[in-house]
Amino acid sequence: MAGSGRRPEHRGPPELFYDEAEARKYTQNSRVVEIQSQMSERAVELLGLPPDRPCLLLDVGCGSGLSGDYISEEGHYWIGMDISPAMLDVAVEREVEGDLLLADVGDGIPFRPGMFDGCISISAVQWLCNADKKSHSPPKRLYRFFSTLYTALARGSRAVLQLYPENSEQLELITAQAMRAGFTGGMVVDYPNSTKAKKFFLCLFVGASGTLPKGLGTECADGEEMHQAKFTNERMRFRNAKGKSVKKSRDWILEKKERRRRQGKEVRADTKYTGRKRRPRF
- Mean residue pLDDT of the chain comes to 81
- Can you tell me the distance from the alpha carbon of 121 to that of 112, in angstroms, rounded to the nearest whole number? 19
Provide φ and ψ at 15, rounded to 5°.
-70, -20
Q: What is the pLDDT of residue 135?
A: 74
pLDDT tens-digit readout, 27-38: 677 788 888 889
User: 115-130, pLDDT tens digit by residue?
Assistant: 999 999 999 999 999 8
Domains of the chain: 8-231 (3.40.50.150), 245-281 (no CATH)
Q: What is the DSSP letter of 150?
A: H
Checking DSSP bridges between strand 184-190 and strand 199-205, what pairing results, if any?
A: antiparallel
pLDDT tens-digit series, residues 7-31: 444 445 544 445 566 766 766 777 8
**pLDDT at site 17:** 46
Whole-angstrom Cα distance, residue 8 to residue 126?
A: 9
Q: At 82, is the pLDDT very low, low, confident or very high (cuts 50, 70, 90)?
A: very high
DSSP code of 128?
G
Q: Are 61 and 81 in contact (CB under 8 A)?
A: yes
Model confidence, pTM: 0.71
Percent of the chain with pLDDT strictly greater than 70? 76
| CA–CA distance, 211 with 201 (Å, rounded to integer) | 14
Three-class SS state of 77? strand
